[in-house]
Amino acid sequence: MVSAHSLTFSALRPLIPSNMEMRRLSPPWRLLDDVALETMRAESPQAAREIVAQRWDARQAQWLPNAFSLSGRQESAVGLRLAAISLNCGWHEVIPRQPSLSVPVPERFRSLWKVVAHRLGTEDLGAAPLLGIANYGSDDTSRGAIVPALRWSATDEPSRIDLLLAAAARIDAITAPVLGESRLLNEPATRPWAVLRVMDRMVQAQRMVQELLARQIEAVTHAPFTTVGQEAAMVLGSGAPDAPYSIPSRMVTPVQQALDALLGMPLVGRGAWHGRGARRHLTEDQIVALRALDRVGDAVRALVLRREQVARAHRAAVAEVCRSQTLYRRLINAVTGPVAALPMRDADWDQRYAQGQ
């Protein structure tokens, strides 16, 4: 077990996005790539389910025996395709907690997911860590030049759900370096300078996130969309909490949950720390890393009560995270809201897009 007094980079590594160099599927799984892309181009969730029913019965689709020997990077690559198929077919949960409320999932698909989910360390499907974070390499996202393994748009121009998932990946890529510095927070009571440094870095990173989200919100209002893509986005954005800076559980990234562990989020209108948010869509290694950050966060908040300078820095960091999450929620709402209510693209927009503005 990692103690609060020995937080190291290796302990935090599961929360930091890795460069997904191996995003292509190995030969036994190539047909799964085709199935995922076909469902992304389907006219409706019902049409996507028909595609899966037809292709899953194909002679080549003998994936279950191969699932037990998947390598680490291939596990994420296969999980990514299964997540996309699940959303496109309207399957909110492959292993539903309330079966009567879900569209029935074919047993062969469910069986494959159970094996892959066990290897990934999670039973939740359709979450941003798979569809967003695992879909983009962190080296690419930090520079903004991103090429996803999968996209809903059939053209080079990203659709609304593509922009949303790209934003999730970029948020983690921008914020991850702050997590790397959080190991300086060991023994915060004796190192208040380290807390001030990390809080300042957090403020800087969140302002970069806010600039990114503002651009994505503008782009989304004019971006193309498909019926299946909109339905998939609705699944990701379902169950949104009431607070304006609260994020639907499927769209909360690992790094955002790490920030919650370090800072805590205030109650709406009261400013009091309400405890930690629910932990969702994480692997077992990520949960262990968050527990280490929980203990560090407790020690930091204890120092906040004793040192006014640290308290000011902490309040500033919390405020910036809240601003970022408010913009992130607005982006999610813009993507998942009624399409008819969103402005449509015009000639001026097409010209600006062509010029890269």
User: How far, in Å, CA of 80 to CA of 131, rounded?
Assistant: 6
What SS3 state is found at 266?
strand
pLDDT at 263 over 70: yes
Percent of the chain with pLDDT over 90: 17
User: How far, in Å, CA of 207 to CA of 319, rounded?
Assistant: 11
* Range name among 116-120, 329-333, 347-351 with the lowest pLDDT average: 347-351
Q: What is the DSSP string of 211-262?
A: HHHHHHHHHHTT----HHHHHHHHHHHTT--SSTT---GGG--HHHHHHHHH
Write b or e for each residue in 236-270: b if 16 or more Cβ atoms lie within 10 A of its Cβ, otherwise e.
Answer: bbeebeebebbbbbbbbbbbbbbbbbbbbbbeeee
User: How far, in Å, CA of 265 to CA of 196, rounded?
Assistant: 18
Task: Please give the DSSP secondary-structure letter assigned to residue 136.
Answer: S
| pLDDT tens-place string over residues 9-33 | 677 777 777 655 546 777 778 888 8
Q: What is the pLDDT of residue 30?
A: 84
Q: What is the pLDDT of residue 231?
A: 85
Angle between helices 107-120 and 72-88 (to 10 degrees): 140
Q: Which of 282, 291, 286, 288 is nearest to 261 (CA)?
A: 291
End-to-end CA separation in angstroms for the chain: 49
Q: How many C-beta atoms surround the C-beta of residue 101 within 10 A?
A: 9
The set of residues, in sequence order, having a beta carbon less than 8 Å from that of 163 and lying 6+ positions away, is: 216, 219, 220, 223, 335
* Range name among 115-119, 150-154, 228-232, 337-341 with the lowest pLDDT average: 337-341
Mean pLDDT of the chain: 76
Q: Which of 292, 308, 289 is nearest to 195 (CA)?
A: 308
What are the φ/ψ torsions at residue 266 (nearest 5 degrees)? -75, 155
Q: What is the pLDDT of residue 218?
A: 92
* Per-residue three-class SS string for 291-319: HHHHHHHHHHHHHHCCCHHHHHHHHHHHH
Task: Please give the DSSP secondary-structure letter assigned to residue 157.
Answer: S
User: How far, in Å, CA of 162 to CA of 340, rounded?
Assistant: 19
Residue type, 113: W
| pLDDT tens-place string over residues 25-71 | 777 788 888 899 999 999 898 999 999 888 877 655 678 778 888 87
For the CA atoms of 271, 273, 278, 280, the dihedral, rounded to the nearest 10 degrees, stands at 80
Write b or e for each residue in 139-160: b if 16 or more Cβ atoms lie within 10 A of its Cβ, otherwise e.
Answer: ebbbeeebebbbbbbeeebbbb
pLDDT at 356 over 50: no
The set of residues, in sequence order, having a beta carbon less than 8 Å from that of 233 and lying 6+ positions away, is: 160, 161, 164, 335, 336
* pLDDT level of residue 214 (50, 70, 90 thresholds): very high
User: How far, in Å, CA of 160 to CA of 172, rounded?
Assistant: 19
Q: What is the pTM of this model?
A: 0.81
Domain borders along the chain are 9-15+158-354, 27-135
